[in-house]
Each structure stands twice: as structure tokens, then as C-alpha cells.
Chains A and B, each alone.
Chain A
Amino acid sequence: MKKLHLFLALACLVLLSVLAALLTGSVTNAAPSLIYELRLPRVLAAFAVGGLLAMSGGVLQVLTRNPLAESSVLGVSGGASVGALAVLMMGGAGTIWVAGGAWLGAVAVLVLLWLLVGSYATHPSRLLLAGVMVATGCGAITSLMIAFASDMAMPGMIHWLMGDLDSVMSLEAVGVLLGIWLFVLLVLVKLAPQIHLLQLGTDKAQSLGVDVPMIQWMMVLLSALSAAAAVSIAGSIGFVGLLVPHILRTIVLKRLGPDQTFLLPAAGLLGGAFLVLSDMFARTVIAPSQLPVGVITALIGVPSFLFLLARLRQWGS
């Protein structure tokens, strides 16, 4: 079983990256309590956030039939940013309200898209266009808010925008995040065969017995849930949702084809490992100060994505 071997290899990679991230830090030979109280929540959060972003990206790429889709395309990340920045602007930095504001923003974008498109399910291309517009609008509002922000709130807002994980402190929040990760993963495993057929186009999928509107709905909801959860904890981290599904596709394309029953759960694992390692670099590369992890993912993501794009020209139809 090729698939099983690949999954085992991925699970090993995840374990190794988590271990490495727990043992690496600005303080060498850290005390166990330090690892447990400071590094563990952060590493686990990085894993869940990365996995959620990657799964959300993978789902959206099938849904919109566009290899460049990811959660920021739906405007969900943008909406979450506006929500969180509004809280930061009002001086709520460091409170749970930042996450709450991000959630509200993401949900508001979904409601707005619902009003704009009518039904996401039947028109993926309209959803994509509306999503891009909403994302652009959110970007403009974000700039406006930064322009009007007080000197006190400004650094926090910019830091959050670049995407970072140092606000993660409590194990409870991490537990909720991991729960969402597991939930999304399990539902995707259940739906993956039908999502796989959706790649053949809605008509063909329907003729093969797939309940197309229901599956498309589930895909929208799952990708939005994942993106909102990830963004509300970690700010806007780009390229994970874009890069990870593409890496997986290049690895397995020759032997398995774009088999979504493998790709979607595997994205949940590899995305996690990817962000754990990125965050490890972000913490340590210029220790004792830290880089935002979003900068690292973009620095790794942009060149590797261009490299993949050059190698696989046939993706562009």
C-alpha cells in the first residue's frame, strides 16, 4: 500500500519536526517546565494552524478549480484581519477579544459573500470573484485602520498582520484549535472520495452519483472554518495553503494522480510540520529577538512556489 507508507512517512516527519521544535530555542538546555509551559503550546498551535491552512487551501483549489486558490482568496483571512485589528485599535491587545474579533470578521465575510453571490454552491467562479473583491476591500480597510491608529496600538497591529504565534499562551486555546484540526481532518477523510470526483467537473461528478451542491457547501464551510480558526490565533500567515498542497501533488502526481483521498489528509499533516519548522526558524534565527512566522513562510513560499510553477507548466490549462 503506497498510500499507507506515505502517511506513515508523513506522521514520522510530523513527530520529528515537533520534537525538533520543542528542543530548539534561544535558551539551550532549557528546563522541562520552560518547554512545557512556553514551547509546547506554541509548537502545537503552529502544527494545528499550519494543518488547517493547508487543508483549507487544498479544498479551495478543488472547489474553485483554480490551482492558485487559498483561504485569503475567499476573503476570510482579510475579514479576520479587519476584525482583529479593530480590537487592537481599541486597545484590546493581549486579550481573548483579538481572537473573538478575528472570528467575527471571518464570519462577517461569509455572510457578505452569501448576500453577494446568493448561493456559493452553484457558482464557484462567482464566489472566487466576489472573494477577491472582498479581500481587496478588507485590505483597504486594514490600511485605513493603520493610518488612523494611535502610536500605542500601531506596532501591535503591524506585528499581528505579519502573522505570528507568540500570542499563543494557554493550553486551552491550543486544545480547541487541535480539536478543530481533528474535526476538519476527519470530515475531509469522509468526504474525500466525492471531493476527488468533483475534479472531473460538476456535471461528470453529478452523473457519477455525487450530491454536488451538498459537497460544495461542505467544502465552503470547512475551508472557512479552518481559515477563520487559523487566522484568529495566528494572524495572517500566507502561502501555507498554497504551497503545501502543491508540494504534495508534485510528490505523488506520477504514481497516484491527484488523489484527494490522500492529498487532503496529507495536507493536514504536512502543513502542520511545515509551520512548526517555519516557526522554529522564526524563533531562533535572530535570537533572542523573533521574526514573524508569516515572513518566514513567505520567504520560503514564494521562491519554492515559483520553482514548482516552472517545473509543472501543464498545470496552467
Chain B
Amino acid sequence: MSQEILLQVQNFTLTVGDRVLISNLNWTVKAGERWCLIGRNGAGKSTLLKAIAGMQSQLYMHGNIQWKGKDLPLCTPSELAKLRAYGEQFPVGGIGLRAIDIVLAGQWPWHQDEAQGYLKHAMSALERCDVAHLADAPWQSLSGGERQRVSLAACFAQSTPVLILDEPTSHLDIHHQVTLLETLVDASQTCHQAVIASLHEIGLIGRGFTHALIFMGDAGDYLAGSVDEVINPTNLEKSLGHPILEASTDSGVRVYIPA
């Protein structure tokens, strides 16, 4: 089965100051794949996500990024907005914004007017993230996890082939971490959406992701491939700097925990 290639990164090197975050990255993301980015704090996960999303200045990188075969610098902001949604690590809200406003704004790239479907689409996105009951709640009154789920709902509402999520699970309780992953799995299986997310909860890798990109240490080395190929206790320990144990659930899902 040949899947559509959405994102292609070739000979890509990312540096901040004297530090090489990732060197000579070759990476292809196809429709329906779910990638997780694993690495320590400051390894460069967020910077890489911003770079492929086209939101990082071109100063510190060289190499080739192509979205659907088109070079990233040639893509206009509105073209990119229809290709990928970007979920921030720390979502920001303005004065008086409600949850529903954030999600409605996510549909802006498609320039839908206040047609009937517009509000309905936003509400169903909120429902998928289990925050429909908070639609009219002011942003300032939401907890960290609720903000995160509203922000994810906005990404879903943007209806793009690719979701780029910066630590989508970081503020969520365990129940919502698992439901979010199920939602992502569902989105990639039914709508062939690709997911690229940075992740610290290594226990979740087996539950929701098909591929992994692991930052290995300081020299800009990396491993990229399917979860079966690259995720094992040895690689995780080398990347994260802590011994890792592997376990299996009754249903056969592999789970990793810090030893």
C-alpha cells in the first residue's frame, strides 16, 4: 500500500548557538503515520517541530524541508495553515476569549463564514477532546489540562492532513492522556491524518504511536523508524539518560517505565 508522502526532510541540520540539536536528518512522514519525538529537555524537540511547521527563523538551519513536494520557504502562510495544525506547548489566550472562540479561530484558514456548519464543526471538535461543556467558559477560568484540551480541539478543527503537537499530553490527567491518544489513533485511521508529537510520557508510546524519532545524546545523532525498530530499553536509556524497563499489558501493548 503506497501512502501519500506529506512531509519530507532531507540533510537537515539544526543548530542553536554552538550546539548542534540534530544533524543531517533524513525523515519522511506519510499519511496515517503517528510519530512521537523522544528526547531530554532542551534536546531540540520543540525547535524541530517549529522548524518543520515553518515557524522558526531560517537562521539556524540548513537542509531541505518539503511539504507535499513543495519547498517549505516557498509555501505561503495560508497554504501551510491548510496543511498542518500546530498545537503549542503552552497555549495562550487573550482578554475575554472563550474556549469556543479558540476553536472557531482554528477554522480560519478555510475562510468559512458563519454558516451553520461552522459552529457545529467547532462543537464536535470540542466534544472529541471532552471539553464541550466548557465551550462558553472564559479562557482564564480553565485549568492547565482543560486549556490543553481546548487547544487540541482547535487543532482538530483546523482539519489539516498533519497535526504537529508540542507535548500534547503534558498537562493532562492519565484518563485524558489515554483518551487523547485514542482520538489521535482514530483520526489517523479514519481520516488518514498524520500526527507528529513530542512526548515525555514514554509509557504512552506503545499505545498510540506507529513511528518514533529519538534524539540520541548531544552530538545531534538521532534514530528514526517504526516503533518496533527503534523503541527498546537500550535506545530509550541512551536518549533519556535513565534506565528503562519494558513490560507488557494483557492485550499485548508494550509499556516502558523508568527503572
- Chain A positions near chain B (C-beta within 8 angstroms): 61-62, 65, 67, 193, 196-197, 199-201, 203-204, 206-211, 249, 253-254, 257-259, 312, 314-315, 317
Interface residues of B in 37-90 (CB under 8 A from A): 53, 55, 76-82, 84-86, 88
* Contact across chains for B94 and A258 when beta carbons are under 8 A apart: yes
B232 to A: closest C-beta gap in Å: 34
Pairs A–B under 8 Å by Cβ, sample size 15: A197-B105, A200-B91, A201-B91, A201-B92, A203-B55, A203-B92, A208-B81, A208-B108, A208-B158, A209-B108, A209-B109, A257-B100, A314-B138, A314-B140, A315-B140
Q: Report the minimal beta-carbon distance from A205 to chain B, rounded to whole angstroms.
A: 9
Task: Please determine whether B88 and A193 come into contact, CB atoms closer than 8 angstroms.
Answer: no
* Bound Cα distance A170, B169 (Å): 64
Q: Please pick, from B82, B91, B101, B106, the residue contacting A257 in the complex, using a CB distance under 8 A.
A: B101
Asked, given contacts A206-B77, A209-B108, A209-B109, whether A200 binds B86 with beta carbons under 8 Å apart, the answer is no
- Determine the distance from Cα of A201 to Cα of B94 in the docked complex, in whole angstroms: 8
Task: Tell me whether A253 and B96 are in contact in the complex, defined as CB-CB below 8 angstroms, given that A209-B77, A209-B78 are known contacts.
Answer: yes
C-alpha spacing A186/B58, complex, angstroms? 35
- With A193-B108, A209-B108, A314-B140 given, is the CB distance from A257 to B96 under 8 Å? yes
State in angstroms the CA–CA spacing of A211 and B79 once bound together. Answer: 12
Given contacts A203-B88, A257-B100, A317-B140, is CB(A208)–CB(B95) below 8 Å? no
Is there an interface contact between B98 and A257, defined as CB atoms closer than 8 Å?
A: yes
Contacts of A253 in B (CB 8 A): 96
| Cα separation A312 to B92 with both chains bound (whole Å) | 19
Q: Shortest CB–CB separation between residue B100 and chain A, in angstroms?
A: 7
> Which residues of the other chain, B, contact A257 by a CB distance below 8 angstroms?
96-98, 100-101
State the CA gap A65–B76 with chains docked (Å). 26
Which residues on the A side are within 8 Å of B94 (C-beta)? 62, 65, 199-201, 258
Q: In the assembly, what is the distance between CA of A126 and CA of B76, in Å?
A: 28
Is A203 a contact of B86 with CB atoms below 8 Å? yes
Partner of A208, one of B91, B96, B105, B141: B105
Q: Smallest Cβ distance from B111 to chain A, in angstroms?
A: 9
Contacting pair B96 A210 (CB below 8 A):
no
Within 8 Å by CB of B141, from A197, A204, A207, A314, lies: A314
Q: Tell whether, in the assembled complex, residue B97 and residue A258 are in contact, meaning their CB atoms are under 8 Å apart.
A: yes
Docked CA distance A288–B256 (Å) = 84
* A315: contacting residue among B55, B95, B109, CB under 8 A: B95
- Taking a contact as CB atoms closer than 8 A, the residue among A204, A206, A249 that contacts B96 in the complex is A249
For B141, list chain A residues within 8 Å (CB).
314
8 nearest A-B pairs in the assembled complex, by CB-CB distance = A201-B92, A199-B94, A209-B81, A207-B86, A209-B78, A257-B101, A258-B96, A209-B77
Assembly CA distance A149 to B144 (angstroms): 57
Contacts of B101 in A (CB 8 A): 257-259
A211 to B76, CA, bound (A): 9
Cross-chain contact of B97 among A199, A207, A210, A254 (Cβ < 8 A): A199
Contact B105 A200 (CB under 8 A): yes
The residues of A that contact B79 with a CB separation of less than 8 Å are: 209
**Cβ B108 vs Cβ A197 within 8 A:** yes
In the assembled complex, B102 has its CB within 8 A of some CB on chain A: yes
Task: Please report the C-alpha to C-alpha distance between residue A196 and residue B109 in the assembled complex, in whole angstroms.
Answer: 13
Q: Which residue of A lies closest to B108 (CB)?
A: A208
B93 at interface by CB-CB < 8 Å: yes
CA distance A13 to B53 in the complex (A): 47
Cα A258 to Cα B102 with chains together (Å): 11
Which residues on the A side are within 8 Å of B91 (C-beta)?
A: 200-201, 204
**Which residues of chain B are within 8 angstroms of A210 by Cβ–Cβ distance?**
77
B147-160 to A contact mask, C-beta < 8 Å, 1/0: 00000001000100
The answer to whether B102 and A200 have CB atoms under 8 Å apart is: yes
Query: B86–A204 contact, CB under 8 A?
Result: yes
The interface residues of chain A lying within 8 Å CB-to-CB of B78 are 209
- Name the distance in Å between A253's Cβ and chain B's nearest Cβ: 5
Given known A-B contacts A204-B91, A258-B94, A209 and B80 have beta carbons under 8 A apart: yes
Which of B55, B93, B108, B141 has the largest number of chain A CB atoms within 10 A? B108
CB distance from B142 to the nearest CB of A (A): 10
A210 and B108 CA atoms in complex are apart in Å by: 10
- Provide the bound-state CA to CA distance between A262 and B122, in Å: 20
Q: Chain A residue with minimal CB distance to B82?
A: A209
Which residues of the partner chain A approach B81 to less than 8 Å between Cβ atoms? 207-209
Are B86 and A258 neighbours in the complex by a CB distance under 8 Å? no
Which chain B positions have C-beta within 8 A of A254? 136
Tell whether A196 pairs with B95 under 8 Å between CB atoms, given A204-B88, A207-B81: no
Closest chain B residue to A317, Cβ basis: B140
Closest residue of chain B to A66 (Cβ to Cβ) is B95
* Besides the known contacts A200-B97, A254-B136, 19 further A-B residue pairs in the complex with CB atoms under 8 A apart: A193-B108, A196-B105, A197-B105, A199-B93, A199-B95, A200-B91, A201-B88, A201-B94, A203-B86, A203-B92, A204-B86, A204-B154, A206-B77, A207-B81, A208-B81, A209-B81, A257-B97, A259-B101, A315-B96
